[in-house]
């Protein structure tokens, strides 16, 4: 399943007021980070990840790695911020249109 344009727009509006809760630095994406992002997605469903300037990887590669590792959807990459969404198993809060 892929997100439709309408669903992405809805999620972008929801994510607008969120603060980035993860930062990807010079070490890039590792297994520990993927595990933590996965747990945060289970709890919140929608999170922002900030890519720092000293990160050696491209922000699109970082987004792909995080989305693939956590089975999440990339809602948007804007500037150095990535917005990820994954439907929660137990804490379902967001209902997509």
Burial 47-82 (b: 16+ CB within 10 A, else e): bbbbbeeebebebeebbbbbbebbebbbbbbeebbb
Q: For position 35, what pLDDT does the model report?
A: 95
Q: Dump pLDDT digits (tens) for 17-28.
A: 999 999 999 988
* Residue-range domains of the chain with CATH: 5-85 (3.30.110.60)
pTM of the model: 0.92
Distance between first and last Cα of the chain: 14
Q: Dump pLDDT digits (tens) for 31-78.
A: 999 999 999 999 999 999 999 999 999 999 999 999 999 999 999 999
């Amino acid at each position: 399943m892929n997100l439709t344009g309408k669903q992405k727009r809805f999620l972008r509006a929801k994510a607008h007021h969120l603060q980035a809760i993860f930062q990807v630095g010079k070490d890039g994406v590792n297994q520990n980070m993927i595990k933590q992002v996965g747990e945060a997605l289970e709890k919140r469903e929608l999170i922002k990840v900030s890519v720092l300037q000293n990160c050696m990887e491209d922000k699109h590669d970082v987004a792909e790695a995080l989305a693939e590792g956590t089975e999440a959807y990339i809602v948007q990459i804007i500037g150095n911020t990535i917005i990820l969404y994954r439907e929660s198993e137990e804490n379902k809060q967001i209902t997509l249109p």
